[in-house]
Structure 1
Amino acid sequence: MASPNQKVENMFATTRTICAGRFLIDIPASATVVYGDLWGPYEIERYPNEAANIEAYLSRYAEKLKEDRSFASKQLLGPHSMLGKVVKGAAPGQRLFFGVDRGSSIFYEIYSLMPVGADLFVQIGTSSHKDYASVVEILNSTARRIEPLRENGVPTYSGFCIDGALIKDDIESDVEKVQMGVRLQEFPDVHFSIEMTRKDFRVESDAIEPRLEEARRRAFAMGWGSWYSRIKTLRKGDRTLGPWKGFEVLVHIPSRKEIGESHDFNFVALGIPKNPQVPTIDMKLDTGVHDNRPGAVKPSVTDEEALDIWDRITKSIRLRPVASSK
């Protein structure tokens, strides 16, 4: 008998496995992946096929500094300032550029430019003049440990996957964060996203339950009680997913004024502080999305199809196995 969700069944007939953070996720082979914030431990940006253009990037940062130099003060303007200097890093081809942090006139914004295969990765750290050497060492450590991630390959050794690269384990990172979105060719308005962050402390405000209560309170306070009461709950409650014990709420939101109907699925687990194998996780699925606005177009999936897509992706998430170091 044919599946009632035959289009979803066909979409998942061929899948591919991607590495995100320390985990693996199975997605349709036709899907595309987009990345948001990546931290390990500082913010990292990828520029595909730009490794050969590192000098051009250094020139851009130098031009930017001409505009930002007026923000600098104290030691950054002294005789021993590193402002505007370019130095070699610890890894082959790596360069470090010292700019100024606009948010603090006495802090450097240090750019670490790292050629990784054909790509250029730029990691950005901030530091006072007194402590910049320690920040440079962290940036150098990342540059020593980052290497290309094969497009269809899954690494077998321990590390943290980001967009197009793996940061191999060496020392414990202060922060590991990956934001990733999955876009479905067959259902362009359906957006799945996941964020995983290793944190040192449990942040109770990240939990989904208080946010739900605040949303309900605000809806009634603003006179939207009738609309709120028509939200259709498809599933809600505690859910154990792999190493996580979290909370899930899956709803179908009715249209309101200029905003059309949509699905809003969310799973949040606070994880275990300082444990990279159980980070805080926040997963979402939205429908009716156009220009990143849920409810902008009519959803292309039914409730049943949305649930099917959600379960297939979320149930596939598992810790990436690594070879023993012995």
Structure 2
Amino acid sequence: MKTYGLFLLAFAAAFSVSPNACVAAPNRPHLFVMANNNVSTAPSSPTSTFCVGRFLIDIPAGSKLTGGNYKYDFLAIESVKTMSLEEFEKETTAHESILKSSINGRTKKSMLLESVQPEKTTRIFSSWKSDASTAQVVVFGYRWIGGHRFLLKDSVDDDKQKVGMENMGKVLSRLRSRSETEMPSEPGYCFDGGLIANSEWENEEAGVDFRVADHPDTILSVWFYPLAKYKHDKPLLERMGGMTQVLGNLATSIHILRKGNRQVGPYKGQEHLASAPNSGGMRGHAFVWETQGEGTLETPAIKIELSTGHADRKGNPQKTSLTDEQAMKLWDDVLNSFRLRPTGDTVKTSDVSPQPHPRLPLGELAATGRACPQTGWWQASEAGEIEGGARQYFTAGETMPQVTMLGESSLWQKLKGARPSYRTATVWKLVDYDAEVPKPQSIAQAAPGNASSDAHGLGDGSSHQDKG
């Protein structure tokens, strides 16, 4: 049993991307993907939508968020607490009093460096990081909104204290309270209990876990974080191959269910689906999809995992309640739902001012949900056949839409005249201008290079039709 436990630890370690790795990720050739042409347009059971950062993900209804770590612009976000304004004032006053009365062993002065109160419901303190430090400063930011206390923390060098205080005030001013089921219409960063409104991406990261409804042994995890290109590790499947060699004969305990390149919305990544023994000798699942991003704030590294066979609350190993087929179906439904959150910062076409001069350059990108910044022809980043064509015409101010991907029909579907399809968010790329606006009913037909066109090299030839 101990052997299996150690085996699983090593197996799980292979999924990790080291933020400190300096190995450039090579352009890998297309790997084998097991495609399923019976693509479902929607999950077979009700789902709940969760907002994490700027992303949305759909999970079986009744699933619970069990833990999360959130950082926004290098500020750590503590768990939101329910309290009255009076309780909030008592907590912040007590914190300030403790810092003020504590003495730094080196300066022989108060640990409290500065305290400001921009408004009654906002308090910001800065203090030395420890009673022996004169180099690191901690900034605490409190805000009370409608019965909820928010607390953010930052750590800066002593010469950046003023900048840290100002940045904390700016972030606190953008805070909004949010219920778990509320999907904000304004752009910004979601965390459990709140939103930081901002149309511009900052240094944003999060790691959250969900217990999947009706399957207590099943956990879904989502991580994202900025990752510079020079810190990219080896691709997922290459790391997994190396781990298999290290494990030797133990690797025969792993059953590979599916692996290969897989694009999720605009994000090109890889997936590895396997079953393996847990610490109790019973089989569980370890599914992972990952992209290391493009090295920009808007294209972070993303990792999504689904694992079964977790111990119960008493630490006892559990047999998974999902068959391989059920686990893969759940995985495909969840993974296909992952997308950027559409926002309401769009402008009606009639309200758009004349086109800016000069025009935006070709190659400009716009994600699903954003207002179209330039009238012209736009190319979707998805590989495969798209309903209406991969290349479509949009007018400035229109909301950039999702795309409908078309799968291959089975013989039975062909006889019925049906074709599998699903909708997904994408990133559109400006590829051409056209001064003459085509008629709405002929846009799809007029778009050159429709259907499976990928003339601008945005796809990698793979398809993410791996639905259960």
Normalised TM-score (structure 1): 0.81
Q: Which among 111, 117, 121 is matched to residue 93 of structure 1?
A: 121
Report the alpha carbon displacement of residue 176 of structure 1 after superposing the two structures with TM: 0.4
Report the alpha carbon displacement of residue 255 of structure 1 after superposing the two structures with TM: 5.1
Q: Which among 314, 336, 347 is matched to residue 315 of structure 1?
A: 336
Aligned to 2:265: 242
Q: Secondary structure at the match of 1:154?
A: coil
Q: Secondary structure at the match of 2:244?
A: helix
Instruction: Count residues in correspondence.
Output: 302
Aligned to 1:264: 286
Q: Which among 170, 179, 204 is matched to residue 232 of structure 2?
A: 204
Aligned partners of 1:109 and 1:127 also within 8 Å: yes
Report the Cα distance in structure 2 between the residues aligned to 1:211 and 1:64, rounded to whole angstroms: 49
Q: Which among 183, 192, 205 is matched to residue 177 of structure 1?
A: 205
Report the Cα distance in structure 2 between the residues aligned to 1:61 and 1:235, rounded to whole angstroms: 53
Report the alpha carbon displacement of residue 29 of structure 1 after superposing the two structures with TM: 2.0
Residue 119 to residue 245, structure 1, CA distance change in 2 (3 Å): same
Report the Cα distance in structure 2 between the residues aligned to 1:40 and 1:229, rounded to whole angstroms: 42
- Of the structure 1 ranges 108-117 and 96-105, higher mean CA displacement relative to structure 2 is found in 96-105
Aligned partners of 1:206 and 1:270 also within 8 Å: no
For residues 5-59 of structure 1, what are the alpha-carbon distances to aligned partners after superposition, in whole Å with 9 as ceiling and x for unaligned? xxxxxx9632222211111111222111133210111111123303633345446
Aligned to 2:353: none
Where in structure 2 are there 5+ consecutive unaligned residues?
Answer: 1-42, 348-468
Report the Cα distance in structure 1 between the residues aligned to 2:230 and 2:147, rounded to whole angstroms: 38
For residues 277-312 of structure 1, what are the alpha-carbon distances to aligned partners after superposition, in whole Å with 9 as ceiling and x for unaligned? x32111111111126999922111111111111111
Aligned partners of 1:146 and 1:166 also within 8 Å: yes
Report the Cα distance in structure 1 between the residues aligned to 2:174 and 2:125, rounded to whole angstroms: 20
Aligned partners of 2:116 and 2:125 also within 8 Å: no
Q: Secondary structure at the match of 1:312?
A: helix
Residue 184 to residue 171, structure 1, CA distance change in 2 (3 Å): closer
Residue 159 to residue 293, structure 1, CA distance change in 2 (3 Å): farther
Q: Which among 310, 313, 319 is matched to residue 289 of structure 1?
A: 310
Structure 1: 4+ residue segments shifted above 4 A: 59-70, 291-295
Aligned to 1:233: 256
- Amino acid across the alignment from 2:66: V
Report the Cα distance in structure 2 between the residues aligned to 1:294 and 1:208, rounded to whole angstroms: 30
For residues 119-150 of structure 1, what are the alpha-carbon distances to aligned partners after superposition, in whole Å with 9 as ceiling and x for unaligned? 21211111233210101111111101010123
Tell me, yes or no, if structure 1 residue 16 matches structure 2 residue 48.
Answer: yes
Report the Cα distance in structure 1 between the residues aligned to 2:79 and 2:150, rounded to whole angstroms: 5
Aligned to 1:6: none
CA-atom RMSD, angstroms? 3.0
Report the Cα distance in structure 2 between the residues aligned to 1:116 and 1:206, rounded to whole angstroms: 44
Normalised TM-score (structure 2): 0.58
Report the Cα distance in structure 2 between the residues aligned to 1:67 and 1:282, rounded to whole angstroms: 44
Q: Secondary structure at the match of 1:315?
A: helix
Residue 164 to residue 209, structure 1, CA distance change in 2 (3 Å): same
Q: Secondary structure at the match of 1:151?
A: coil
Aligned partners of 1:61 and 1:97 also within 8 Å: no
Report the Cα distance in structure 1 between the residues aligned to 2:295 and 2:84, rounded to whole angstroms: 36
Aligned to 2:324: 303
Aligned partners of 2:113 and 2:128 also within 8 Å: no
Identity %: 25
Aligned to 1:32: 64
Report the Cα distance in structure 2 between the residues aligned to 1:18 and 1:151, rounded to whole angstroms: 7
Map of 1:213-228 to 2, 5 A cutoff?
213-220=241-248, 225=249, 227-228=250-251
Q: Secondary structure at the match of 2:137?
A: strand
Report the Cα distance in structure 1 between the residues aligned to 2:244 and 2:130, rounded to whole angstroms: 39
Where in structure 1 are there 5+ consecutive unaligned residues?
Answer: 1-10
Residue 309 to residue 171, structure 1, CA distance change in 2 (3 Å): closer
For residues 160-202 of structure 1, what are the alpha-carbon distances to aligned partners after superposition, in whole Å with 9 as ceiling and x for unaligned? 11111111116552x1012222212300000001011234545
For residues 242-283 of structure 1, what are the alpha-carbon distances to aligned partners after superposition, in whole Å with 9 as ceiling and x for unaligned? 111111000000356x5532111011101122242x321111
